[in-house]
Structure 1
Amino acid sequence: MSKNQNKTNAYSFFNCIEKNFDKAARFLSIEKGLLEQIKACNAVYRIHFPVKIGKEIKVIEAYRVQHSHHKLPCKGGIRYSIKVNQDEVMTLAALMTYKCAIVDVPFGGAKGGIKIDPQTISVEDIEKITRRYTSELIKKNFIGPGIDVPAPDYGTGEREMSWIFDTFLSLRSGEVDALACVTGKPISQGGVRGRKEATGLGVFYGIRELCHIKEEMSSVHLDIGLVGKKIIIQGLGNVGYHAAYFFHKAGAIIIALAEREGAIYNEKGLNVSKVFLHLKNTGSILNFPEAKNIENTEKALELECDILIPAALENVIHKNNANRIKAKIIGEAANGPITPEADEILEKKGVIIIPDIYLNAGGVTVSYFEWLKNLSHVRYGRMEKKFNENMNAELLQVIETVCKKKILSEEKKIILRGPREIDLIRSGLEDTMINGFHKIRDLKKSSKIGNLRTAAFVLAINKIIDSYEKLGIFP
Structure 2
Amino acid sequence: MTKKTEYSLFDDVCGFVDEAARHMDLHPGLLNQIKQCNSIYKFNFPLRNDDGTYETLTGYRIQHSHHKLPVKGGIRYSEHVNEDEVKGLAALMTYKCALVNIPFGGAKGGVRMDPLKYNANQLERITRRYTSELIKKKFIGPAIDVPAPDYGTGAREMAWIVDTFEAFNPELINAKGCVTGKPLSQHGIEGRNEATGMGVYIGIREAVGVEEDMKELGLTTGLKGKNIIIQGFGNVGYHSALYLREAGAKIVGVAEWNGGIWDEAGIDVKSLKEYQTKNKGFKGYSRGEFIKESKELLIYPCDILVPAALENQITKENASKIQAKIVGEAANGPVTQEASNILLENGVMVIPDMYLNAGGVTVSYFEWLKNLSRVSFGKLEKRYDMEKYRKLMSTIENATGESFTDDEKEGLISGASERDLVISGLEDTMVAAYHSMNKTRKDKNIKSLRTAGFILALERIAISYTDLGIFP
> Which TM-score tier does this pair reach, normalised by the shorter chain?
over 0.9
What residue number does 1:167 align with?
164
Q: Distance in 1 between matches of 2:459 and 2:103?
A: 14
What residue number does 2:225 align with?
228
Instruction: Compute the displacement of 1:167 (Å).
Output: 0.8
SS at match of 2:459: helix
Matched, 1:395 2:416: no
What residue number does 2:241 align with?
244
Deviations 1:224-259 (A, max 9, x none): 111111111011011000000101111110011111
Instruction: Compute the displacement of 1:211 (Å).
Output: 1.3
Matched, 1:91 2:88: yes
RMSD: 1.4
Instruction: Compute the displacement of 1:360 (Å).
Output: 0.5
Q: Distance in 1 between matches of 2:372 and 2:34?
A: 28
Matched, 1:30 2:26: yes
Match of 2:13 among 17, 24, 29: 17
Q: Distance in 1 between matches of 2:320 and 2:6?
A: 24
Matched, 1:116 2:91: no
SS at match of 2:6: helix
Match of 1:413 among 400, 410, 415: 410
Deviations 1:252-308 (A, max 9, x none): 100111111222111110000000111112111133211112222122111221111
Q: Distance in 1 between matches of 2:383 and 2:469?
A: 44
69-78 or 462-471, larger mean C-alpha shift: 462-471
Matched, 1:342 2:356: no
SS at match of 1:94: helix
- Count residues in correspondence: 469
Q: What are the within-5 Å matches in structure 2 for residues 329-408 of structure 1?
A: 329-408=326-405
Match of 2:6 among 1, 8, 11: 8
Q: What are the within-5 Å matches in structure 2 for residues 72-471 of structure 1?
A: 72-471=69-468
Q: Distance in 2 between matches of 1:418 and 1:472?
A: 46
Deviations 1:118-137 (A, max 9, x none): 11112112111111111111
Unaligned runs of 5+ in 2: none
Matched AA of 2:286: P
SS at match of 1:150: strand
Unaligned runs of 5+ in 1: none
Deviations 1:371-390 (A, max 9, x none): 00000000111011101111
What residue number does 1:52 align with?
48
Matched AA of 1:335: N
Deviations 1:329-350 (A, max 9, x none): 1100011111222212211221
SS at match of 2:75: strand
50-59 or 27-36, larger mean C-alpha shift: 50-59
232-241 or 341-350, larger mean C-alpha shift: 341-350
Deviations 1:370-417 (A, max 9, x none): 000000000111011101111111111222223321122111110001
Q: Distance in 1 between matches of 2:461 and 2:241?
A: 33
Matched AA of 2:432: N
Instruction: Compute the displacement of 1:216 (Å).
Output: 1.4
- CA, structure 1 residues 213+403, in 2 after alignment: closer, same or farther (shift >3 Å)? farther
Q: Distance in 1 between matches of 2:392 and 2:427?
A: 27
Deviations 1:196-236 (A, max 9, x none): 11111100000001111111111112111111111110110
SS at match of 2:446: coil
Matched AA of 1:37: Q
Q: Distance in 1 between matches of 2:395 and 2:63?
A: 56
Instruction: Compute the displacement of 1:14 (Å).
Output: 2.0
Task: Report if the CA contact (8 A) 2:10-2:91 is conserved.
Answer: no
SS at match of 2:170: coil
Matched AA of 1:108: G
What residue number does 1:43 align with?
39
SS at match of 2:390: helix
Q: Distance in 1 between matches of 2:274 and 2:315?
A: 32
SS at match of 1:8: coil
Matched AA of 1:194: G
Matched AA of 1:36: N
Q: Distance in 2 between matches of 1:282 and 1:125?
A: 24
SS at match of 1:284: coil
410-419 or 298-307, larger mean C-alpha shift: 298-307
Q: Distance in 2 between matches of 1:374 and 1:205?
A: 26
Identical positions, percent: 51
Q: Distance in 2 between matches of 1:270 and 1:164?
A: 37
Q: Distance in 2 between matches of 1:117 and 1:258?
A: 20
Matched AA of 2:440: L
TM-score normalised by structure 1 residue count: 0.97
Deviations 1:38-84 (A, max 9, x none): 00000001111223222122222101100000000010011111111
Instruction: Compute the displacement of 1:470 (Å).
Output: 2.2
Task: Report if the CA contact (8 A) 2:27-2:471 is conserved.
Answer: no
Q: Distance in 2 between matches of 1:342 and 1:131?
A: 39
Q: Distance in 1 between matches of 2:210 and 2:447?
A: 18
Q: Distance in 2 between matches of 1:207 and 1:217?
A: 12
Q: Distance in 1 between matches of 2:380 and 2:264?
A: 48
Instruction: Compute the displacement of 1:115 (Å).
Output: 1.3
TM-score normalised by structure 2 residue count: 0.97
Matched AA of 2:445: K
Task: Report if the CA contact (8 A) 2:228-2:253 is conserved.
Answer: yes
Matched AA of 1:218: K
Q: Distance in 2 between matches of 1:308 and 1:269?
A: 15
